[in-house]
Chains A and B, each alone.
Chain A
């Protein structure tokens, strides 16, 4: 008999709710079926101009020269916009919440870092005239070596993709090369495990392919403001980004939107708003900048590629005693939202399972690919997929039914998660039970009787001692210092690449602290063995996150 969890979200429930089970008409449905819903492009303007951009044909190249003279003289062309016309030509999306360094130009200055990067914008009377003029822009390039593989990009001597981050990795808290999770002692647990399984999972980039492509129409209003018809998924986020890039007070921007023809994460990057508004400022006329389908498919940001290497230690009876995950996120040439996706990924290690020893390392890596962005659970979907495939392989390895294997290892109320939060309102066991029932999958009596409400806590609530090195640091002997920041001015030559140590393999410290108690071991006092005092004092951790991600992410805050 299944137990239905009426206590889920009990503290958030309004018992007057009476909507479930009844249809409730959407407020926008009448507009949709009558064709009257106005998407960003469904607005007519007299004297509407059309904007198209010149894009890099190279994955990585230095720009030697740009000649726009023929394009400027082409029929219908009203204005050519170049990098120097963009007031603040360097931005990173999450700078609005103080997370990360400005690293991406609106129009490329001296270098292109991915195929399709915008270099020059052309505004003309018609789409066709703008496209014809795009072909007349002469850009001379010196192609540079490229790097497309995340692990290659992290190697010493790798090509520097994005000079703001010369190690080819996003710098967390301005100094760390990746995000780290440590719980217990995986090395000792691997040694005591009956089996160890290491597998590598690789995700490809995915294009959102919403039926409406990205685009914007911007027009001067009568009150010295600009009206902006936008398809942005985060309208005020896009407003802030546009205001920053154009050095405008945000109250001069009148964004209208919220009606999005499919987004799925592909419309959060403000790909078109800043240039459309700049075009309206420079011409004094309405300007429309819409990506064609080819542009959207080739250069619109995708969900980025991910690589996850998972190593698990498992006992013959099915208990997972150690899990180590190393994740590489391919950000492409610029940060956009990948830095945040990595934080989410680490928050989802080691999956909804109680594992007493966990080690996680996740890198946000720059390559010469199209910059990646949000897409439906980005940062989580890839690692969760990898973990679940790994769970099937582990179940097969120890000869246990995969559903039972999940129930056996599932987290339960009261368990300590690797992030040092006690698990509440867990329901994986019940989910697996229902799934099994729906497909008539036979479960053992033990698995059918299992409950998230019982069997958790106790020794499973213990925070095991965390392995540290002689310096009191976690994870590995040397924490790489952030390389010097490069902010080359116009015409400055870039300093030589700073060699960096190879990605070191974790060296376990000579003396191990006791292995954390395994989930079903009856008693090991919850107060845990005292931490041996490390010789030098533990350096202060990078304090409560000051970078704003705390406000941005439910990862850091309790659900109310």
Chain B
């Protein structure tokens, strides 16, 4: 089938790539553009390890067609840090031991970033809701929730 050109911004860089019409955004980012931060877990939108941000909104990379991302801005966990400086969420995940095998972490971070970007001071319940679509099989969710709340608190303190 004829491949189609797509242009979008990935972690701040403009990228152009040819994709199959049925190619998923996850496949394009990983195998097409070599950013392996988002993972493949189920291919059916149930585990959340492929979570990326499309124009700031969390999206499941495995269920999003690349051709629908023309002109969009895509963010993955690879683009979270500002050079050598970690994003507050990354620092909080480290501080609170919010990862064990690390496979769900890139998706968790992006779901958390989407939350904090629109709601800088979330309640615990709001944090739980924000990561409800992301499955972790190792650590348990408590350290992850604590890390996200701590990151929010730290950002709030910095703004004050």
A residues adjacent to B (C-beta < 8 A):
23, 25-26, 28-39, 41-44, 48, 128, 208-213, 259-264, 290, 292-293
Contact A209–B137 (Cβ < 8 Å): yes
CA distance A259 to B90 in the complex (A): 20
CA distance A25 to B122 in the complex (A): 27
Verify if B16 is at the interface (C-beta below 8 Å from A). no
CA distance A30 to B136 in the complex (A): 18
Contact B137–A211 (Cβ < 8 Å): yes
Nearest CB in chain A: distance from B10 CB, A:
13
CA distance A86 to B103 in the complex (A): 33
- Contact of A23 with B49 at beta-carbon distance under 8 Å, contacts A33-B109, A211-B136, A212-B103 already known: no
Contacts of B81-104 to chain A: CB distance below 8 A: 81, 86, 89-91, 93-94, 97, 99, 101-104
Contact A293–B90 (Cβ < 8 Å): no
Nearest CB in chain B: distance from A72 CB, A:
22
The answer, among A33, A262, A290, for a CB contact under 8 Å with B103, is: A262
Contact A30–B94 (Cβ < 8 Å): yes
- Contact of A262 with B138 at beta-carbon distance under 8 Å, contacts A34-B78, A34-B80, A38-B36 already known: yes
CA distance A37 to B22 in the complex (A): 28
Secondary structure type dominating chain B contacts: loop
Verify if B61 is at the interface (C-beta below 8 Å from A). no
Verify if B63 is at the interface (C-beta below 8 Å from A). no
- Contact of A33 with B34 at beta-carbon distance under 8 Å, contacts A211-B49, A211-B136, A261-B101 already known: no
Verify if B105 is at the interface (C-beta below 8 Å from A). yes
Contact B86–A33 (Cβ < 8 Å): yes
Verify if B41 is at the interface (C-beta below 8 Å from A). yes
Going nearest first, the 6 A-B pairs with the smallest beta carbon separation are A35-B37, A32-B102, A261-B103, A35-B77, A42-B36, A293-B42
- Contact of A211 with B109 at beta-carbon distance under 8 Å, contacts A34-B77, A34-B78, A35-B37 already known: no
Verify if B66 is at the interface (C-beta below 8 Å from A). no
Nearest CB in chain B: distance from A265 CB, A:
12
Contact A23–B97 (Cβ < 8 Å): yes
Q: Which residues of A contact B76 (CB under 8 A)?
A: 35
Contact B94–A25 (Cβ < 8 Å): yes
A–B complex contacts, Cβ < 8 Å, 10 sampled: A31-B102, A32-B99, A34-B37, A34-B77, A210-B137, A211-B41, A211-B49, A211-B101, A211-B135, A264-B137
Contact A35–B138 (Cβ < 8 Å): no
CA distance A210 to B22 in the complex (A): 27
Interchain Cβ contacts within 8 Å, total number: 104
Contact A39–B103 (Cβ < 8 Å): yes
CA distance A26 to B96 in the complex (A): 11
Contact A211–B104 (Cβ < 8 Å): yes
CA distance A36 to B90 in the complex (A): 12
Q: Which chain B residue lies CB-closest to A43? A: B36
Q: Which residues of A contact B103 (CB under 8 A)?
A: 39, 210-212, 261-262
Q: Which chain A residue lies CB-closest to B37? A: A35
Q: How big is the B interface, by class?
A: 35 or more
Contact A37–B102 (Cβ < 8 Å): yes
Q: Which residues of A contact B35 (CB under 8 A)?
A: 35
- Contact of A293 with B41 at beta-carbon distance under 8 Å, contacts A42-B36, A209-B137 already known: yes
Contacts of B45-64 to chain A: CB distance below 8 A: 47, 49
CA distance A262 to B78 in the complex (A): 21
Q: Which residues of B contact A41 (CB under 8 A)?
A: 36, 39-40
Verify if B158 is at the interface (C-beta below 8 Å from A). no
Verify if B31 is at the interface (C-beta below 8 Å from A). yes
The answer, among B36, B42, B137, for a CB contact under 8 Å with A262, is: B137
Q: Which chain A residue lies CB-closest to B106? A: A35
Contact A34–B101 (Cβ < 8 Å): no
CA distance A213 to B62 in the complex (A): 15
Verify if B120 is at the interface (C-beta below 8 Å from A). no
Verify if B133 is at the interface (C-beta below 8 Å from A). no
Contact A26–B101 (Cβ < 8 Å): no
CA distance A23 to B99 in the complex (A): 14
Contact B90–A34 (Cβ < 8 Å): yes
Q: Which chain A residue lies CB-closest to B94? A: A29
Contact A261–B102 (Cβ < 8 Å): yes
Q: Which chain B residue lies CB-closest to A24? A: B97
CA distance A446 to B29 in the complex (A): 66
CA distance A290 to B43 in the complex (A): 12
CA distance A286 to B18 in the complex (A): 22
Verify if B13 is at the interface (C-beta below 8 Å from A). no
Nearest CB in chain A: distance from B87 CB, A:
9
CA distance A215 to B137 in the complex (A): 18
Nearest CB in chain A: distance from B60 CB, A:
13
- Contact of A32 with B135 at beta-carbon distance under 8 Å, contacts A44-B34, A212-B39, A293-B44 already known: no
Nearest CB in chain A: distance from B2 CB, A:
14
The answer, among B30, B31, B42, B90, for a CB contact under 8 Å with A33, is: B90
Nearest CB in chain A: distance from B43 CB, A:
6
Q: Which residues of A contact B37 (CB under 8 A)?
A: 34-36
Nearest CB in chain A: distance from B4 CB, A:
16
